[in-house]
Amino acid sequence: MTIEDKNEKFGTLDELVEMTVEIDPEIVESCTDYGAGTDEAKAIYMKSRKYIQEIVGNKTPEDRIRQRCVIATGDISVSDIMQFRHNPIEAGKEAILNNAPIFVDINMVKAGITKVGHNCEIICILDEDKDAKIAKKYGITRTAAGYLAARDKLDGAIIAIGNAPSAAITICRLIEKGLRPALIVGTPVGFVNAAESKEMIRNLEVPVPSITCVGTRGGTPMAVACVNELISIANGRTE
């Protein structure tokens, strides 16, 4: 179908956009989210944010993390399962301003974290165990093997885990051995060890800053939401 044929059937692209998109310039102007790259995306984000602020609250930096996770999941109840230990907002902010690397468990988390507003390298831990040699040798998951392979690089880093409970457990074991990451964002999802691995993070004897959620829920959207909101906070953004 040629452009002329498409125009005859549907109308021009300009006409279609005007028909389907309504954008409030004031809402667009107030958007401070790095992930919203177009006027429509900014408007959608800000409408969602204003709505969720009224429900979740908007008094503390922790509220901002809760808001972002609610928007990411479409589930207002996730606000009630978020847990913050050992001043993770300040720890995350400082790490981002110091360009700490961010080690994530899967490529979906890496893809979701904004590349704007910081100079932190985002590293998928799967790339640390080339050809899954460690995973195959010891019969462990690739994410657990990746964090073991990168163990000498993790001090002072941000650890973001959105999928793999085994990765969260591995990080906890490494902390018991002396690892000191700047922050753990741990929201692994599922019915096998997900709730338990997050509880392990919260109950570490060493006071490592962490953001987690209670129970089986979690996932990549929540991990990404936490990190992206921390980036906005580090840049002094108000919403």
The per-residue pLDDT for 45 is 72
Across the range 170-175, mean pLDDT stands at 96
Lay out the sheet containing 102-104: strands in order across: 82-85, 210-213, 183-186, 158-161, 102-104, 122-124
Give residue-wise pLDDT tens across range 203-214: 999 999 999 999
pLDDT at residue 102, rounded to an integer: 98
* Confidence (pLDDT) at 12: 66
Residues 46-99 pLDDT 10s:
777 787 888 888 899 999 999 999 999 999 999 999 999 999 999 999 999 999
Report domain extents, the chain: 75-234
Look at residue 22 in the predicted model and tell me its pLDDT.
57
| Mean pLDDT score across all residues of the chain | 87
**Amino acid identity at 39:** D
Confidence of residue 28 (pLDDT cuts 50, 70, 90): very low
Spell 184-195 as b/e; 16+ CB within 10 A means b: bbbbbbeeebbb
For 116-146, the pLDDT digits (tens) are 999 999 999 999 998 899 999 999 999 999 9
Which superfamily does CATH assign the domain made up of 75-234 to?
A: Cobalamin biosynthesis CobH/CbiC, precorrin-8X methylmutase (3.40.50.10230)
Cα separation, 81 vs 229, in Å, equals 17
C-alpha torsion angle, residues 228, 230, 235, 237 (rounded to 10): 80
Structure tokens at 185: 């964002």
Is residue 37 very low, low, confident or very high in pLDDT (cuts 50, 70, 90)? low
Among 144, 210, 156, 150, residue whose Cα is nearest residue 181:
156
Asked if pLDDT for residue 44 goes beyond 90, the answer is no
CA dist., res. 73 & res. 53, Å (int): 15
Lowest-confidence pick of 8-12, 15-19, 115-119, 187-191: 15-19
